[in-house]
Amino acid sequence: MAVGIFDSGLGGLTVLDAVAGKLPDVPLYYYADSAHAPYGVRTMDDVHGLTKTAVASMWEAGCDLVILACNTASAAALRRMQEAGVPKGKRVLGVFVPMIEALTERQWGDNSPPREVAVKDVALFATPATVASRAFQRELAFRAIGVDVEAQACGGVVDAIEDGDMILTEALVRSHVDALKRKMPKPDAAILGCTHYPLMHDAFQAALGEDVKVFSQADLVADSLSDYLERHPDMIGDADPAFVTSGDPKRVSDRATQFLRRQIIFQSA
């Protein structure tokens, strides 16, 4: 029995770690589409197709509930998959839903008119594809008024993290924050809109300044999943817990072990 967690690469392991800490008794099935990573430089249609294929394989493996622990996949594929309909007894949820709930201080299903919220100027750091989708801005606009979102496409950051080059990653973070500040000098809050970015939380915070509230997704997703499973305990499914990848299992295992600082063994998807 396992809940599915999907990502284009290893960023979703930050979500897996937070979920495992919050829900230690819930087995997890992690799928990394490493053969096609990174998604952040692909077209929306391409990401939708890849995500749809991967999630279908996770459903077939017995994951009744799949979390898209990838903002690019959530932005490009979640709404289209839900609108097209999913198999009976299956669910797919997106990773940025809890972030929107935290920013707007209201539940996702709250369809009351948009209202003012505490934050006014929000910096969004995300992959080029997520920024191009404007999914964060769209979902925020449904729920909040008077919020100015300035997005910064953080090219190169995911690749540098996956390559384990922290010196380059920190330099790229500072560069992207500087670029954002030229457009929005004093943001109230910042969204780390990629599941890789929590690993660089301290670097983003240092570059932004301590007075900027930085929203990172992993813990928010874990809290949201805990609440969801309390209401829908039957959604755990019958998949065996596993780590699978469309890429080279040995290479992905080595990177994942470095990523989480504990041994992770991937199998071929």
Higher pLDDT, 41 or 183: 183
Structure confidence by residue, pLDDT tens digits, 11-63: 999 999 999 999 999 999 999 999 998 898 899 999 999 999 999 999 999 99
pLDDT band at 142 (very low <50, low <70, confident <90, very high): confident
**Which residue type does 162 have?**
E
User: CA of 192: how far to CAs of 124, 169, 177, 237, in Å?
Assistant: 6, 14, 11, 30
pLDDT band at 257 (very low <50, low <70, confident <90, very high): very high
Domain definitions of the chain by residue range: 3-95+218-268, 98-216
Average pLDDT, the chain: 92
Q: Other C-beta atoms within 10 Å of 41: how many?
A: 17
User: Smallest Cα–Cα separation from 103: which of 217, 5, 266?
Assistant: 217
Q: What is the pLDDT of residue 200?
A: 93
- The yes-or-no answer to whether 3-95+218-268 and 98-216 have a common fold is yes
Q: Which residues are part of the catalytic machinery? A: 70, 194
Q: What is the pLDDT of residue 95?
A: 86
Q: What is the pLDDT of residue 113?
A: 87
Structure confidence by residue, pLDDT tens digits, 99-135: 888 888 887 677 788 889 989 999 999 999 889 989 8
Pick the CATH number of 3-95+218-268 from 3.10.450.50, 3.10.580.10, 1.10.3720.10, 3.40.50.1860: 3.40.50.1860
Q: What is the pLDDT of residue 169?
A: 96
Does residue 138 carry a pLDDT above 90?
Answer: no
Q: What is the pLDDT of residue 120?
A: 92
Find out whether 92 and 86 touch, Cβ atoms under 8 Å.
yes
pTM listed for this prediction = 0.87
Summarize the confidence of residues 136-155 as an average pLDDT: 91
3-state secondary structure the chain: CCEEEEECCCCCHHHHHHHHHHCCCCCEEEEECHHHCCHHHCCHHHHHHHHHHHHHHHHHCCCCEEEECCHHHHHHHHHHHHHHCCCCCCEEEECCHHHHHHHHCCCCCCCCCCEECCCCEEEEEECHHHHHHCHHHHHHHHHEECCEEEEEECCCHHHHHHCCCHHHHHHHHHHHHHHHHHHCCCCCEEEECCCCHHHHHHHHHHHHCCCCEEECHHHHHHHHHHHHHHHCHHHHCCCCCEEEECCCHHHHHHHHHHHHCCCCCCEEC
Q: What is the pLDDT of residue 1?
A: 67
Structure confidence by residue, pLDDT tens digits, 214-248: 988 888 899 989 988 988 888 888 889 999 999 99
Q: Does domain 98-216 have CATH number 3.40.50.1860?
A: yes
Summarize the confidence of residues 78-93 as an average pLDDT: 93
Token digits of residue 252: 């992905």
Q: What is the pLDDT of residue 233?
A: 86
